[in-house]
Amino acid sequence: MKHIILSLGLAAFAVSPYPVFAESTFDKVKVEAGETLFYSECRRCHAPDSTDPSYGPPLDNILGRAAGTVEGYEYSEALAGSGIVWTPAALRAWMEDNDGFMPGTKMRHVGIEDRTVQDFILAYLGNISAQ
């Protein structure tokens, strides 16, 4: 299944390297693939919305949110004081190498280096941020 998703991603990446909201059938496929990947790569620690308790902060409405600001979670001093606002570029860098992007973070290394997988997850995060 992951190979099918990644194949779709190659075409998706060619069209748009940034997340887009689900306006077309193709965009919906990107969001659905991103949801599947979110649940396999991120859900162990992060919920897709604020109503679902999780170890890490929920990721709904993450786009445009300042890093380290969700109440009820203990962030590293590095992240809480970073002044970073979560943009697609910042999230991509975080997914690829969060330790390198933000030394001193409490979160274990993510290591999602495949840009296609990143694109799909970003499409999903963009969609749940727009709801």
Q: Is 70 buried (19+), middle (13-18) or exposed (0-12) by CB count in 10 A? A: middle
- Residue 17 identity (one-letter amino acid): P
pLDDT digits (tens, 9 = 90+) for 53-98: 899 999 999 999 999 999 999 999 999 999 999 999 999 999 999 9
Tell me how far the alpha carbon of residue 32 is from its chain's centroid: 14
CATH 3.20.20.70 fits 2-130, yes or no: no
Q: In the prediction, which pLDDT does 13 show?
A: 47
Give residue limits of the domains in the chain: 2-130
d(CA 98, CA 108): 8
Is the distance from CB of 6 to CB of 117 less than 8 angstroms? Answer: yes
| pTM summary value | 0.78
% of the chain with per-residue pLDDT over 90: 68
Identify the band that residue 124 occupies on the pLDDT scale cut at 50, 70 and 90.
very high
Q: Is the dihedral of CA 18, 24, 29, 33 positive or negative?
A: positive
pLDDT tens digit sequence for 19-36: 545 567 878 999 999 999
2-6, 38-42, 63-67, range with the lowest pLDDT: 2-6
Average pLDDT over residues 36-44: 95
SS3 assignment, position 85: strand
